Amino acid sequence: MSLLPVSIMTACESPEGIMEQEQEYLAALGTAATYQISGNSLELRTAEGSLAVTFEPAQ
C-alpha cells in the first residue's frame, strides 16, 4: 500500500502566502523518506538524510 498527497485545487487567499506554503510542503513531502518532530518543529528529510524542509507554527 502507498499513500499519495492530495490537495484541493481551491485558491486560498488568507493568510497571505498560504498557497506557496502548501506547494512547498507537497514538494518536500514528495522527497521525504523520514520525519522528526522536535518540540513545535517538523523536519522532513530525504533518503540520503538531507533536510528537505522544516516547519514551525506561526508566531
Q: Note down pLDDT in tens along the chain; length 59 residues.
A: 565 556 555 666 677 888 888 888 888 888 999 999 999 999 999 999 999 989 899 87
Q: How far is CA 20 from the centre of its chain?
A: 11
Per-residue confidence (pLDDT) for residue 35, from 0 to 100: 93
The per-residue pLDDT for 9 is: 56
Q: Please answer whether residues 26 and 9 qualify as being in contact, where contact means their C-beta atoms are separated by less than 8 angstroms.
A: no
The answer, as to whether pTM is greater than 0.75, is: no
